[in-house]
Structure 1
Amino acid sequence: MLSYRINNFLRHTYACTISNCRSFASTSVETGLEERNPAPYFFNRNVQSYLKRLTTVDYAKIFRTRKDGHRLKAPEYKFLTDEELQEATEAAKRRAHKYLQMPPVVKKRVDPSVLLCEDPALKGHDTAKYVFTDITYDLNDKERPIVVREPEGTLRHATWQERDRIIQIYFPKPAREIEKPKMFEAEYLKDLLDRNEYIFILDRACVQFEPDDPDYQAVTREVYEHINREKHFDILRSTRHFGPMVFHLAWTRNIDNLLCEMIETGRIEHAAILIRLVHLIYPSMKSVIEKCNVRDNVEFIMHYAHLEEKSIVEKLLQSYKELQQVHQIVQEDIKQEQEQEHSIQNLNSETEKVNINQ
C-alpha cells in the first residue's frame, strides 16, 4: 500500500514538473530567449503536403539494397495475373509510403530543474547515487517516473540523459546502445560526412536517439548543413530524411542552394513549393506581403527572388527562361519538319495512286 502511494506521488510530481518545464519553454519562446518550437509548423497539414511532394517517389531508390548488416535474400520470380499484379503494385506503394515516413522535427527537450526534497540526514550515507525507477510495463517512457537520490541527500528527477540510460537497461530497444556510439563524435562523424554516408548516419541517429534529444538534433543539423554546403541534395531525395532536411533549410531561411539546384535541374514546380513552404513559416516576408498576380511558377519564383534580393536565383531563372525559349523554337522547327515530311509522303502516295489508275 505504501509503495502504491509513493508511485502515485512520484507520477504526480513528475507530471507537474514536465508541465512547468513546457510552460517555461513556451514563455521563453515568447520573450525571444529561446528559439521557436518547430513542431506546430512541421506537423501542419500544408507543410506536410509540401514536404511529401518535394521528397518525390523513386521506387528504385526506396527499395534499394541497404547497409544494415542483414543478409541479402535471393530474388523471387512469380507469374501473376493482371489482378494479382495490381494488388502487388498497391502493396509496393504502401510499403514505399511507410519507408518515406519522415522523422519528426520537435523542440529540444529541457531537463527538469525542480527538486523533490532535501534530506541532510542522509548526507555521507553513501558515495554513490541511488536511482529509483517505476518499471510498470504499461507506462509511456516519457511519463515514466525516475528519480535520483544524491549522496548529499537531495532527491531530484533524473536528467534526460540518465533517463535514456535507465530505460535502455530495463526496456532495451533493438540496435540502441547505452553509450553514445563513437561514430557520432566529431572526428568519426567528419570522416563519414566526407564519404557522403548521409543516409547511414541519419538512419543510425534515428535508432540511437529520440527526436528531441540534443545529440540527435546536433547530428542531423551537422548532416543537413554539410549536404547544403556540398549541394548533395539528390542523395537524400526519395528518402525519409529529405523532408526534415528541407524543413531545416526553410526553418533557418537557408534555401538558396536548394532553390538553385531545383532550377538547374528543371524542377520549377518544386522550387515554387519550396518558396511557399518558407512563406508558411515566415508570413512577414516581403514576398508574402507584396502580392502579385502570378500566372505561372516562373513568375512566382522571380517575384520572390526580386523582393528578397536573391540575385543568383534571378540569373539562374533568366537562364532557364532563355533555355526554354530555345527549346520551344527547336520543338517548333521539328514539328514543322515533321509536317512537311508528312505532306511530302501524302503527295507521293497520291502520285503513286494516279500512276496506278493510268
Structure 2
Amino acid sequence: MFSYRINNSLRHSYARAISNCRSFASANIETDPTERDPAPLFFNKYVQSYLKTLTTVDYTKVFRSRNDGHKLKPPEYKFLTDEQLYEAKQIAKNKAKRYLQMPPVVRQRSDPSVPLCEDPALKDHDTIKYVFTDITFGLNDRERFVAVREPDGTLRHATWQERDRIVQIYFPQPSREMEKPKMFEGEYLKSLLDRNEYIFILDRACVQFDPDDPDYQAVTREVYEHIDRERHFDNLRSTRHFGPMVFHLVWTKNIDNLLCEMIETGRIKHAAILIRLYHTIYPTLKSAVERCKVKKDYVEFIMHYARLDSPRKSTIEKLLQSYKELQHEHQIMEEGIKQAHGIVSETDKV
C-alpha cells in the first residue's frame, strides 16, 4: 500500500491546479491525452465523487481475507445493544472508506537532465561514482537531496531509479524490495494475469512503486487492459483499484466494454454516471455538446451517447432494448404478485 505521506503530498501538490472541472477540461480539450497531466482531473471533487459511486461498497469484499502473509484472526462474537451496534457499523464504514482509498493517478515522472556543475579538475580522479544523500530525520523522502558525482567530474541530481535505491537503503519501507520483483516482468506477469490475480498484482505494485514510477504505470496499464479485454470488471469492483481502472478507461477513450457490462448486469444508473464522467473529461464530445432532451431517463441518456459517440452503437442499443424488455417483464410480474395478495395498484384505483 502507498504510504500515507506519498499519497497526501501528491494530492496537495496538485490541489492548486484544480479549480472548476469544466473550465479545466475545456482549456485542455485540444491536447493529446498521452501528453496531458491526469492528476488535476483525477483529484477533482466531481470526478472523485463519480469514481467512488462507481466503485460501490460491498463489505464482504472490502473485508475479505488478503494474501499479505499475515495470520488470520479467529472471528469474535459479541452481544451488543442498539447503540453499540450503531457505533460498530460506523467504525466498519470508516474502516471500509480507508480500505477503498484510491491510489492516485498522476503524470509519469522524468529524470532531471541539467547537471548541477562540472569540475574538470576531478576528471579521472576515481573510477567510481560518489553518491551524496541528505539523511535528515523526518524529511519527506521525495524532498531529500541526492546527488551523484561522475568519474568525469560532473555533479548531477540522482535519477529516480538511483534515488529509490539510496532512500530504500537509509529509510527502508516495509515489504519494498531493492530490485523490481520478477512477478512484474514478462511471463511471470502474464501467468498471474491468466490466473486472474489482479488484486494481488495491483496491491503488490502499490507497495513496490510510487504512483509516478514508469514501472508502476506500465504494470497497472497492462492489468487494466487485460481486465478490459476479458471483461473481468467485477473482480475489481468494491476495491481501491476500481476507480483508477475506470479513470484509465475513460482517459484512453475506451469505456464501451465497461458500459456494456454495466447494462448487462442491470447497473443502468452507473452506466449513466460513467458517461457523465466521460463528458467531464472530454466536454467536446458530440453527446456532451448536444444535450439529451430527457435528462432524467437513464436509458435515453445512454442511447444518446451511443448514437453520437460510441463505436459499438448497435451492441449498446440491443442491450438497452433487452434491459427495457426485462424491466417490463419484472413490472408485470410485480403487478401479478400484488393482485394475488389483494393489493390494488394506483392505476386500478383510477
TM (normalized to structure 1)? 0.84
Match for residue 264 of structure 1?
264
Please give the alpha-carbon distance, in whole angstroms, between the structure 1 residues aligned to 2:146 and 2:76: 49
Shift of 1:231: 0.5
Please give the alpha-carbon distance, in whole angstroms, between the structure 1 residues aligned to 2:90 and 2:31: 49
Shift of 1:308: 1.1
Among 338, 341, 353, the residue aligned to 2:341: 338
The 3 A distance-change label for structure 1 pair 31 and 250 is closer
Match for residue 312 of structure 1?
315
The 3 A distance-change label for structure 1 pair 156 and 220 is same
Equivalence map 1:1-358=2 (5 Å):
35-294=35-294, 295-309=296-310, 310-339=313-342
Tell me which amino acid in the other structure corresponds to 1:315. K
The 3 A distance-change label for structure 1 pair 120 and 33 is farther
* Contact 2:33–2:251 under 8 Å retained in 1: no
Tell me which amino acid in the other structure corresponds to 2:145. P
Please give the alpha-carbon distance, in whole angstroms, between the structure 2 residues aligned to 1:118 and 1:189: 42
Please give the alpha-carbon distance, in whole angstroms, between the structure 1 residues aligned to 2:33 and 2:47: 26
Please give the alpha-carbon distance, in whole angstroms, between the structure 1 residues aligned to 2:129 and 2:35: 34
Q: Percent identity?
A: 76
* Contact 1:192–1:198 under 8 Å retained in 2: yes
Please give the alpha-carbon distance, in whole angstroms, between the structure 2 residues aligned to 1:110 and 1:286: 35
Please give the alpha-carbon distance, in whole angstroms, between the structure 2 residues aligned to 1:84 and 1:95: 16
Please give the alpha-carbon distance, in whole angstroms, between the structure 2 residues aligned to 1:340 and 1:315: 34
Tell me which amino acid in the other structure corresponds to 1:322. E
* Contact 1:29–1:37 under 8 Å retained in 2: no
Shift of 1:336: 3.0
**Paired residues, number:** 314
* Contact 1:134–1:146 under 8 Å retained in 2: yes
* Contact 1:29–1:35 under 8 Å retained in 2: no
Larger-gyration structure (1/2): 1
Give deviations 1:34-88, integer Å, cap 9, x for gaps: 6100001100100000000000011111111111111111111222222111111
Tell me which amino acid in the other structure corresponds to 1:39. A
Please give the alpha-carbon distance, in whole angstroms, between the structure 2 residues aligned to 1:268 and 1:51: 15
Please give the alpha-carbon distance, in whole angstroms, between the structure 2 residues aligned to 1:317 and 1:180: 45
- Partner secondary structure for residue 330 of structure 1: helix
Shift of 1:334: 3.1
Please give the alpha-carbon distance, in whole angstroms, between the structure 1 residues aligned to 2:307 and 2:136: 59
Please give the alpha-carbon distance, in whole angstroms, between the structure 2 residues aligned to 1:128 and 1:337: 88
* Contact 1:38–1:106 under 8 Å retained in 2: yes
Please give the alpha-carbon distance, in whole angstroms, between the structure 1 residues aligned to 2:282 and 2:170: 43
Tell me which amino acid in the other structure corresponds to 1:51. L
* Contact 1:57–1:238 under 8 Å retained in 2: yes
Greater relative CO (CA pairs within 8 A, separation 6+): 2
| C-alpha RMSD of matched pairs (Å) | 1.8
Q: Which runs of 4+ in 1 moved over 4 A?
A: 28-34
TM (normalized to structure 2)? 0.86
- In the alignment, structure 2 segments of 5+ residues that lack a partner are 1-27, 345-350
Please give the alpha-carbon distance, in whole angstroms, between the structure 2 residues aligned to 1:57 and 1:109: 32
- Partner secondary structure for residue 341 of structure 2: helix
